[in-house]
Amino acid sequence: QTESGPTPEKPLVMRYAHMNVANSPNGLQAQYFADRIAEETGGAIKIEVYPGSQLGTITEMAEMVSQGSVALHHNTYGGLQPLLEDLGLFDTPYLYRDVDHLLKATDPETSPVLKELNQKLIDSRNVRVLYSFYFGTRDLTANSAVYAPKDLSGKKIRAIPSAIYMAAVEGMGAVAVPVDWAEVPVALSTGVANGQENPVSVLVSNKLYDVQKFLMLTHHIMGSEPVVINESVWQKLSDEHKQVFTKVAKETRDWASNYVQDSEASDLQILADKGMTIIGPEQGLKVDEFRASVNKVVEQRFGAKWGAYYEQIRAIK
Amino acid sequence: MSGGMIILLFLVLIATGLPIAVSMGVPAAIYLLVQGIPISVMIQRMVASLNSFPLLAVPLFILAAGLMNNSGITSRLFEFAKLLVGRLKGGLAQVNIVASLIFAGISGAALADVGGLGNIEIDAMTEQNYPKDASAAITAASAVVGPIFPPSIPLIIYGAAAETSSMRLLMAGVFPALVIVALLMMQVSYFAHKRNYPRGVEGKFSRKEVLHTIRRGLPSMLMPVMLMGGMLSGYFSPTEVAAITVTYALILSAIYKELSWKEFLKVCRETLRSTASVLFIVASAAIFAWTLTVEQLPQQVSALLLNITENPAVLLLLANIVLLIAGMFLETTAALMVLTPILLPPLMAAGVDPVHFGVVMVFNLMIGMITPPVGMSVYMLSPIVKLPVGKIFRAVTPYLVTLAISLVILTYIPQVSLWLPNLLFNN
Amino acid sequence: MHKFMQKTSKVLESSSIVFLLALFACVLVQIIMRNFFSSGSVVLEELARFCLVSLVFLMVPVLTIDKQHIIVDILSARVPKRIRPVLEICIELLCIGLAVFLLIAVNQVMTRNWSVRTPAIRMPNILFYIPIVIGLVFMSIGAAVHTFDVFKGRKGELS
Ligand code: NA
Ligand code: NA
């Protein structure tokens, strides 16, 4: 359209930085997004993906998007808290009914909560949430069988050092210990931590079945990851390109969310084959007790500041 | 501005005698300006690279080494080593090696060995009329073991750069260190017979002497055992070991009463200076490496290497050549930060274990400490023995052959490194 | 000017000692808490890291003033005496240039992200960067004083 717009010969290059391994579900969706954008714009927009924290730590990448040295980035909602504290509420334990509810609640175009917070994020940090995709549900693993919160008393569970994740682990009845991710397998085998919590895909890709005997399907946090874009970069796009981005964003969200759900089933099978004992409700896991005790802690710590948002999210049909 | 140009500019700047940190920062700054990238990323990257848990070990280990050297712990270790191998022919040369190994079990800092222990070793050897260059050479060669045997700052930093467990890395260093020590001791024993070196201690130790030395040295000797046991049983992480070492050194200093408050502050000041000079380079290396990453240099090198061959043995050979050259010129930590992301991906693609490669990489860089042109160990030793660096470099040469043999063993028999961590952490 | 720089250097070094000891204390207390009281503290870890960043940047000007940065002098040591002052001035100017560049970068971070907080202590960027800015300012002043010395043909009065 305009004579100054990017062309396949002189493409507009954007850097997309993230923390995951290139061939992990999260890494694949970033590449999928980049490839589809290149296709749809006929090569006029080229997205270079930098996986594996090559360009910086998690917090740092979020700030880089804000400053513009990186155009695109995905993270957990909790990971974006340094930019906007309230975004952490989307990682609240036991908040969503199912994946569909989660995707609706974290859709930047339709979710009333995210619409409000996204505007704040744009105004204060020059960062826009483009789309969110489902990246898995967090479950608990430990070196002993756990059926109810009381089984976790005194047990050290590795937790992400952030208030909302600590609340989940402490709410389940355990002692939360921060351990650097690279050290987790060794920490679990030496006993620095007795357990950890992550989506099943992480257990498979990091071979945690070697150091953990029991997997408890607590499903305590259902996670969605926001893909964010620098607002100046977004505003400089032509209307046509904005439409392409919006379209590809929806497509990538669906692709990624389906991909993750499909692999969850097969990952669970792999873990069983590797000899992990899987404890779900049928094996006597008291999910209701976990939910009740976690909700109590959540209410205590976050009820006052996020209670109204929680209501709005629960009201989403 | 391509990756090659950035590196070229860095090499030119470094040759003018500009501080290494600035020589890395300036090309990065120019790159950002040329590419129109917001320059905020420069300070963000520098700060974030230091804002890291593993790096906390750097000041703590340097502080610990300073405390040990100033409180009589090091000299007690030396006496203890004398008890073990002092009666051999060329005894003090053997003691020099063994003391370095024991010291390595406490200290995580490269070069910490040369300043404190090196002084004691060389004084003792000079008293027995060893040629000064020979004493300096064995001191430099044996100091290489320091950061291979746990604890170790370079291995922890590699672990952070490679996102690999530093616990596994540290345990992977145990047997390689023993292999290096064994080969060095064999070489010294050969020299001792050929050049007719004296025994370190004539006659037998009396029972009283033995007990006395053990009693004096025992608290220090227990330290490596305690550190290793504490890490393995999960009481503290590889980074936290550094704080335990400082605490223990402080307690022993209090017991030995050999460290005054004034000396303590002096040790702190020296610690701060070495910490800052190393970590300022680390911070600059972070933004320097960032520009290379944005230029996709790691991918290009990776593709280039994998194009030549996918045979891990050949790739390891190429990596060793690159590392030996880099080690001759670069500061260890900076080399680890810049080269790990470039060299590791193609090697991993070819099936090399990142833990195994970590040990190989650190060993390569340590060899660089005793080779010209930039051999920090030799530079530090030169004023101690009052000999020109050239003469020491020449005396070190025969040991380089032995270290090269050790390097081949470590590179091509991964089990030497991997057996222990695999055994300990059920894999 | 030289006296002032030496005083500054002393003050910077003393504050760095405080940061060093605080760092040590944080790590140690963390170990004790985890092993004896089964509790982990995210705050202590973050505080230790803040101490590390601060002490490095506060010590950089001290190294600049005392010319203790790590350099490779195999080639530069062979430069003829007459050209050496020119080279030295270039070196000092590059150091000043880098420090100033970094200060501008800090300013850029602050314009939009001054209020971004660290995860655990919730310390805003603007506080976190104070020691960094102090370090960079004195690094450029230190290098400027050296440049001035070379101009006047004085040698090493600072170190
Ligand atoms: Na060591
Ligand atoms: Na030695």
Task: Name the residue with higher pLDDT: C155 or B408.
Answer: B408
Query: So what's the pLDDT on residue C159?
Result: 44
Residue B121 CA to ligand 2 center (angstroms) comes to 7
Q: Which residue of C has its CA nearest to A123?
A: C112
Average pLDDT, chain A: 93
Average pLDDT, chain C: 89
From the list C23, C52, C98, which residue is nearest B26 (CB)?
A: C98
Kindly determine whether residue A161 and residue C45, on different chains, have CB atoms separated by under 8 Å: yes
Query: So what's the pLDDT on residue B427?
Result: 55
Query: So what's the pLDDT on residue A152?
Result: 95
Kindly determine whether residue B425 and residue A211, on different chains, have CB atoms separated by under 8 Å: yes
Residue B111 CA to ligand 2 center (angstroms) comes to 11
Query: So what's the pLDDT on residue B26?
Result: 97
- Percent of chain C at pLDDT exceeding 70: 95
Q: Which range has the worst mean pLDDT, A96-100, B151-155, B197-201? A: B197-201
* Residues in contact with A195: Cβ distance below 8 Å, sequence separation at least 6, in sequence order: A140, A141, A142, A143, A146, A155, A156, A157, A158, A174, A188, A212
Q: What is the DSSP letter of C124?
A: B
Q: What's the start-to-end Cα distance of chain C, in Å?
A: 13
Q: What's the start-to-end Cα distance of chain A, in Å?
A: 41
Write down the ipTM of this complex: 0.86
pLDDT at A228 over 90: yes
Length of chain C: 159
Query: So what's the pLDDT on residue B52?
Result: 87
Kindly determine whether residue B165 and residue A182, on different chains, have CB atoms separated by under 8 Å: yes
Confidence of residue B426 (pLDDT cuts 50, 70, 90): low
Average pLDDT, chain B: 89
Averaged over B418-425, what is the pLDDT?
Answer: 90
pLDDT at C157 over 90: no
Confidence of residue C155 (pLDDT cuts 50, 70, 90): low
Query: So what's the pLDDT on residue A216?
Result: 97
Task: Tell me how far apart the alpha carbons of residues A171 and A157 are, in angstroms, rounded to a whole number.
Answer: 12
Which of C:20-49 have CB within 8 Å of B?
20-21, 23-24, 27-28, 30-31, 35, 45, 48-49
CA distances from B235 to A39, B245, B377, C44, C91 (A): 53, 13, 33, 17, 47
pLDDT at B383 over 60: yes
pLDDT at A120 over 50: yes
Residues of C whose CB is below 8 A from B230: none
Residues of B whose CB is below 8 A from C104: 39
Q: Which range has the worst mean pLDDT, A109-123, B152-166, C145-159? A: C145-159
Task: Name the residue with higher pLDDT: B15 or C50.
Answer: C50
Confidence of residue A313 (pLDDT cuts 50, 70, 90): very high
Per the DSSP assignment, residues forming a β-bridge with A197 are A140
B264 part of contact set with chain C, CB < 8 Å? no
Nearest to B143 by CA among B413, B379, B414, B408: B379
Residues of B whose CB is below 8 A from A52: 163
Averaged over C57-76, what is the pLDDT?
Answer: 86
CA distances from B354 to A152, B102, B154, B347 (A): 34, 27, 14, 8
Confidence of residue B54 (pLDDT cuts 50, 70, 90): confident
Kindly determine whether residue C108 and residue B244, on different chains, have CB atoms separated by under 8 Å: no
From the list C39, C108, C119, which residue is nearest A161 (CB)?
A: C119
CA distance A47 to chain B (A): 12
Query: So what's the pLDDT on residue B256?
Result: 82
Q: Is A245 in a helix, a strand, or coil?
A: helix
Kindly determine whether residue B277 and residue C70, on different chains, have CB atoms separated by under 8 Å: yes
State the burial class of residue A262 (Cβ atoms within 10 Å of its Cβ: 0-12, 13-18, 19+).
exposed
Residue ranges with strand state E in A72-152? 72-74, 127-142
Task: Name the residue with higher pLDDT: B273 or C39.
Answer: B273
Query: So what's the pLDDT on residue B205?
Result: 78
Task: Tell me how far apart the alpha carbons of residues B20 and B9 are, in angstroms, rounded to a whole number.
Answer: 12
DSSP secondary structure, A109-127, as one string: TT-HHHHHHHHHHHHHHSE
Query: So what's the pLDDT on residue A14?
Result: 96
CA distance C75 to chain B (A): 6
How many helices (H) and strands (E) would you count in chain C? 5, 0
Residue C150 CA to ligand 1 center (angstroms) comes to 42
Kindly determine whether residue B237 and residue A192, on different chains, have CB atoms separated by under 8 Å: yes
| Residue B369 in tokens | 């400490």
Task: Name the residue with higher pLDDT: B53 or A77.
Answer: A77
Tell me the range of A85-89, B91-95, B232-236, C73-77 where mean pLDDT is highest.
A85-89
Query: So what's the pLDDT on residue B37?
Result: 93
Tell me the range of A42-46, A159-163, B295-299 where mean pLDDT is highest.
A42-46
Omega before residue B150 within 30° of 0, cis: no
Q: Which range has the worst mean pLDDT, A26-35, A88-97, A227-236, C113-122? A: C113-122
pLDDT at A147 over 70: yes
Task: Tell me how far apart the alpha carbons of residues B60 and B55 are, in angstroms, rounded to a whole number.
Answer: 9
Q: Is A72 in a helix, a strand, or coil?
A: strand
* Residues in contact with B173: Cβ distance below 8 Å, sequence separation at least 6, in sequence order: B148, B149, B150, B152, B155, B359, B362, B417
Kindly determine whether residue B234 and residue A67, on different chains, have CB atoms separated by under 8 Å: no
Residues of B whose CB is below 8 A from C68: 273, 277
| CB of B237 closer than 8 Å to CB of A183 | yes
Kindly determine whether residue B235 and residue C35, on different chains, have CB atoms separated by under 8 Å: yes
Query: So what's the pLDDT on residue B337?
Result: 83
Query: So what's the pLDDT on residue B33?
Result: 95
B92 part of contact set with chain C, CB < 8 Å? no
Nearest to C56 by CA among B109, B18, B274: B274
Query: So what's the pLDDT on residue A1?
Result: 45
A→B contacts (Cβ < 8 Å), by residue, are: 15, 48, 50, 52-57, 59-60, 63-64, 67-69, 179-183, 185-187, 189-192, 207, 210-211
Tell me the range of B97-101, B108-112, B157-161, B254-258 where mean pLDDT is highest.
B97-101
pLDDT at B86 over 50: yes
Residues of C whose CB is below 8 A from B368: none
Task: Name the residue with higher pLDDT: B209 or A137.
Answer: A137
Residues of A whose CB is below 8 A from C27: none
From the list B16, B265, B275, which residue is nearest C76 (CB)?
A: B16
Omega before residue A161 within 30° of 0, cis: no
Residues of C whose CB is below 8 A from A125: 112-113
pLDDT tens across A244-285, in order?
A: 999 999 999 999 999 999 999 899 999 999 999 999 999 999
Say how far residue B52 (Cα) sits from the centre of its chain: 20
CA distance C88 to chain B (A): 9
**Which amino acid belongs to residue C50?**
F
With 0.90 as the threshold, say if the pTM is over it: no
| CB of B19 closer than 8 Å to CB of C69 | yes
Residue B54 CA to ligand 1 center (angstroms) comes to 15
pLDDT tens across B337-347, in order?
A: 888 988 998 99
Q: What is the CA radius of gyration of chain B?
A: 22
From the list C113, C117, C120, which residue is nearest A161 (CB)?
A: C120
- Percent of chain A at pLDDT exceeding 90: 79
Kindly determine whether residue C40 and residue A125, on different chains, have CB atoms separated by under 8 Å: no
CA distance A41 to chain C (A): 31
Query: So what's the pLDDT on residue C40?
Result: 67
Task: Tell me how far apart the alpha carbons of residues B412 and B400 are, in angstroms, rounded to a whole number.
Answer: 18
Look up tokens 């999910």; give the residue: A287
Residues of A whose CB is below 8 A from B45: 56, 60
**Please, which chains are in contact with A (at least 3 CB pairs closer than 8 A)?**
B, C
Q: Which range has the worst mean pLDDT, A217-221, A236-240, B414-418, C146-150? A: C146-150
CA angle B147, B152, B155 (to 5 degrees): 90
Residue B355 CA to ligand 2 center (angstroms) comes to 26
Residue C24 CA to ligand 2 center (angstroms) comes to 28
Nearest to B21 by CA among B42, B51, B52: B42
Nearest to A18 by CA among A52, A67, A66: A52
- Percent of chain B at pLDDT exceeding 90: 44
Kindly determine whether residue C40 and residue A81, on different chains, have CB atoms separated by under 8 Å: no
